[in-house]
Amino acid sequence: MIVKWVDLENYRNYRHVFFELSPTLNVFVGENGQGKTNALESIFYLGIGKSHRTVRDYELIQFGETRSTLKTLVEHEIRNYQLEIQIEENVGKKAWINHAPYKKMSDYIGHLQVVLFSPEDLQLLKGSPALRRRFLDIEIGQSQPTYLYHLALYNKTLQQRNRFLKSHNIDESLLDVLDEQLSIHGSYILLKRIDFFKDLNHIASSLYEKIAYQKEKLNIKYDSSLRIDDAYLYSFTIHEFQEALYTGLQKQRKQDIHQCITTIGPHRDDLLFYLNEKDAKKYGSQGQQRTIALSLRLAEIELLYKLSREYPVLLLDDVLSELDDDRQKNLLLSMTEKVQTILTTTSWSSLADYFRMAPKLYKVDSGILTSEG
């Protein structure tokens, strides 16, 4: 898929900007704080319906305004889609596809698939489990909208259960109903996560071996709060997940009531990373952790292609300067020959020699884009 153009109004530091994109390589050059990452973020937002930098949509609206509008045209092999998201202060966001309104973002997401690689990706390893769950949810949701449907209902039921656990009048029959609903939606989430994870582990491990300094074996483990042995977890059916989750919720009920929170389910799961069977989060060097993060992002591209038969759009937010090894740069840049790539940098001249193609080049200065090639 290819992003043909982007139109932004009252978005971050852009009053109004329209820019066209090359189907191959696009570069936004500018000093820090001028808006080049904002342009990249807008494309991510048009694909995911969320920012990678803030959870508060109203922060995307230009200061002094009450509404922001983002539009793009996405070219697929079969047909084109014009996407639009409008963010309004104190109202929320609305989405359109080919001028038709979409009430559910889960139905909107997937029409523009993106993979973002940024300097903050080290937090995938070093950060909280919530970041790694979000990583899974975004990537699975882009290619399987039904996953987002079940995820939304699971989270809604989870909030209801947690509120109920905090009340002083516990009706166990109502807890039974909530546990059943959590099990139905949670089992679907677990099934899709495990399917995605198995491919992710295989592809990322293979990529890591290609770019690691030493012969190290990367292994990723899905750490389930259900505490099921890996040999069984990775082969469970949706019905087995549903039964295991319901049974687990029943067993944890007294503890959940005591702690006033749901202590088991996919919302408590995590990804663990091992290098030669040692915890990479604890014992891995920053270079090793960066290589793992790079391997994960490259694996995402291949997995999204496997699931949708189209390559996603690759967004590189000033990351090439973070890679001090030519093998890492060359592997990443070899991927740019397969996919539409949009990158930001403070200096194009320092990167130009790595690319075989001439880019569509934009200079960014105080929210103003100037085409330079």
The mean pLDDT of 299-322, rounded to a whole number, is: 89
**182 and 138 inside one domain:** yes
Give me the pLDDT at residue 349, please. Answer: 80
Would the pLDDT of 334 be above 80?
Answer: no
**254 and 234 inside one domain:** yes
Would the pLDDT of 320 be above 90?
Answer: no
Give me the pLDDT at residue 248, please. Answer: 97
Regarding beta strands 218-223 and 270-275, do their DSSP bridges make them parallel or antiparallel, or are they unpaired? antiparallel
**Which position has the higher pLDDT, 19 or 55?**
19
Would the pLDDT of 213 be above 70?
Answer: no
Show which of 289, 309, 329 is a domain's final residue.
Answer: 309
The mean pLDDT of 119-146, rounded to a whole number, is: 92
- Which residues contact residue 22 at a Cβ distance below 8 angstroms, ignoring those fewer than 6 apart? 340, 359, 360
Show which of 288, 309, 330 is a domain's final residue.
Answer: 309
The mean pLDDT of 138-158, rounded to a whole number, is: 95
Would the pLDDT of 220 be above 90?
Answer: yes
Would the pLDDT of 66 be above 90?
Answer: yes
State the DSSP code for 61: B
**212 and 300 inside one domain:** yes
**259 and 367 inside one domain:** no
Give me the pLDDT at residue 48, please. Answer: 94
Would the pLDDT of 324 be above 70?
Answer: no
Tell me the angle at which helices 172-211 and 326-335 cross, rounded to the nearest 10 degrees. 110
Report residue 231's pLDDT band, with 50, 70 and 90 as the boundaries.
confident
Show which of 286, 309, 332 is a domain's final residue.
Answer: 309
Residue 99 — left, alpha, or beta (φ > 0 → left; ψ -120 to 50 → alpha)? left
Of 11-25, 286-300, 324-338, the one with minimum mean pLDDT is 324-338
Report residue 216's pLDDT band, with 50, 70 and 90 as the boundaries.
confident
Give me the pLDDT at residue 12, please. Answer: 96
Binding residue numbers for ATP: 30-37
**146 and 271 inside one domain:** yes
**104 and 166 inside one domain:** no
Report residue 235's pLDDT band, with 50, 70 and 90 as the boundaries.
very high
Give me the pLDDT at residue 368, please. Answer: 92
CATH code of the domain containing 176:
1.20.1050.90
**212 and 259 inside one domain:** yes
Q: What HEC string does 283-329 produce?
A: HCCHHHHHHHHHHHHHHHHHHHHHHHCCCCEEEEECCHHHCCCHHHH
Tally the C-alpha atoms within 13 A of residue 316's C-alpha that lie toward its C-beta: 28
d(CA 51, CA 42): 8
**293 and 326 inside one domain:** no
Range with top average pLDDT, 245-259, 290-304, 318-332: 245-259
Give me the pLDDT at residue 9, please. Answer: 98
Whole-angstrom CA distances from 33 to 36, 42, 46, 258, 323 are: 8, 15, 21, 48, 22
**149 and 284 inside one domain:** yes
Q: What's the domain range around 14?
A: 1-113+310-373
Give the ranges where the chain is alpha helix by DSSP (H).
36-48, 105-108, 123-126, 129-143, 145-166, 172-211, 230-233, 238-251, 253-259, 280-283, 286-308, 326-335
185, 148 Cβ separation under 8 angstroms:
no
pLDDT per residue over 80-90, tens digit each? 999 999 999 98
Closest CA to 68 of 14, 104, 116: 14
**196 and 344 inside one domain:** no
Would the pLDDT of 353 be above 80?
Answer: no
**105 and 135 inside one domain:** no
Query: How buried is residue 103: exposed, middle or buried, by Cβ count under 10 Å (0-12/13-18/19+)?
Result: exposed
Count of structural domains within the chain: 2
Quick one: what percent of the chain has pLDDT higher than 90?
Answer: 74
Residue 90 — left, alpha, or beta (φ > 0 → left; ψ -120 to 50 → alpha)? left
CATH code of the domain containing 77:
3.40.50.300
d(CA 112, CA 1): 7
User: At residue 368, what are phi and psi to the nearest 5 degrees?
Assistant: -115, 130
Report residue 269's pLDDT band, with 50, 70 and 90 as the boundaries.
very high
**148 and 269 inside one domain:** yes
Would the pLDDT of 305 be above 70?
Answer: yes
Would the pLDDT of 286 be above 90?
Answer: no
**Which position has the higher pLDDT, 320 or 139?**
139
The mean pLDDT of 203-231, rounded to a whole number, is: 89
Closest CA to 1 of 108, 78, 71, 95: 78
259, 166 Cβ separation under 8 angstroms:
no
User: What's the whole-number average pLDDT of the chain?
Assistant: 92
Binding residue numbers: 30-37
